[in-house]
């Protein structure tokens, strides 16, 4: 597996015009690690394979030599070697908190031991309000569909004054009110009480970094 995967990694890297140093910087590893992957001295684990598949826009099966088809139609896939596919929505409308198929912009593969496709959704992170916990603009956030939450959960929430769902941390104040917290000090907490309504539509369970 390692030799096939390494050969295909080297081919994809060269096609993109990247040096080992450049690809290493993108993935956060050394050029020596890239070289070891390409020569088969070190096997790539599934987290690395997933990152490479996302970056080069190919399937993991292609990287491993199990298929000669580079691109996998994730919209038709359900479970691939322990991975599940989750629909990525452009945004979630807060008017109804609805999930419309025509708003699906992509599909992502995530570990099946973490999520189940039928009760999860994904949206791109927008802005810098959660950067202190490593959520950056453009990252893909996977939420489990639920209206339940506990203190300190990170949730997707619809607020009556916003048009789209927000990603915030919940801090329970008392049984009648909560604070929706950003993870960036330049944003003030949002108080939710009887005078300002909100509805949680999902709990964060996984995230995929944008490269």
Q: Which residues are catalytic?
A: 129, 168
- CA atoms 111, 114, 118, 119: torsion sign: negative
Q: How many C-beta atoms lie closer than 10 Å to residue 81's C-beta?
A: 12
Query: What secondary structure letter does DSSP report for 34?
Result: H
Q: How far apart are CA 166 and CA 58, in angstroms?
A: 31
Locate 168 and state its tokens: 């915030």
Nearest CA-CA partner of 192 in 179, 205, 201: 179
Evaluate whether 198 touches 179 at the Cβ level (below 8 Å): no
Evaluate whether 204 touches 143 at the Cβ level (below 8 Å): yes
| Cα Rg of the chain (Å, integer) | 20
Biggest distance spanned by C-alpha atoms of the chain:
62
E strand or H helix that includes residue 26 = helix 20-27
């Amino acid at each position: 597996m390692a030799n096939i995967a390494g050969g295909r990694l080297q081919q994809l890297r060269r096609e993109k015009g990247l040096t080992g140093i450049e690809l290493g910087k993108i993935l956060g590893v050394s050029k020596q690690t890239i070289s070891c992957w390409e020569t088969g001295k070190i096997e790539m684990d599934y987290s690395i394979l997933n990152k490479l598949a996302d970056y080069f826009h190919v399937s993991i099966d292609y990287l491993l030599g199990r298929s000669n088809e580079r691109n996998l139609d994730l919209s038709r896939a359900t479970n691939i070697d322990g991975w599940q596919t989750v629909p990525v929505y452009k945004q979630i409308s807060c008017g109804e908190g609805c999930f419309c198929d025509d708003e699906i912009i992509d599909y992502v593969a995530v570990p099946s031991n973490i999520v189940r496709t039928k009760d999860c959704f994904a949206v791109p992170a927008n802005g810098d309000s959660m950067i202190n916990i490593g959520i950056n603009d453009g990252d893909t956030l996977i939420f489990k569909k639920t209206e339940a939450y506990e203190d300190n959960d990170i949730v997707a929430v619809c607020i009556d004054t916003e048009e789209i769902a927000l990603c915030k941390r919940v801090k329970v104040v008392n049984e009648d009110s909560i604070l929706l917290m950003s993870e960036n000090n330049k944003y003030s907490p949002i108080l939710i009480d009887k005078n300002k309504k909100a509805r949680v539509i999902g709990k964060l369970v996984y995230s995929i970094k944008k490269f």
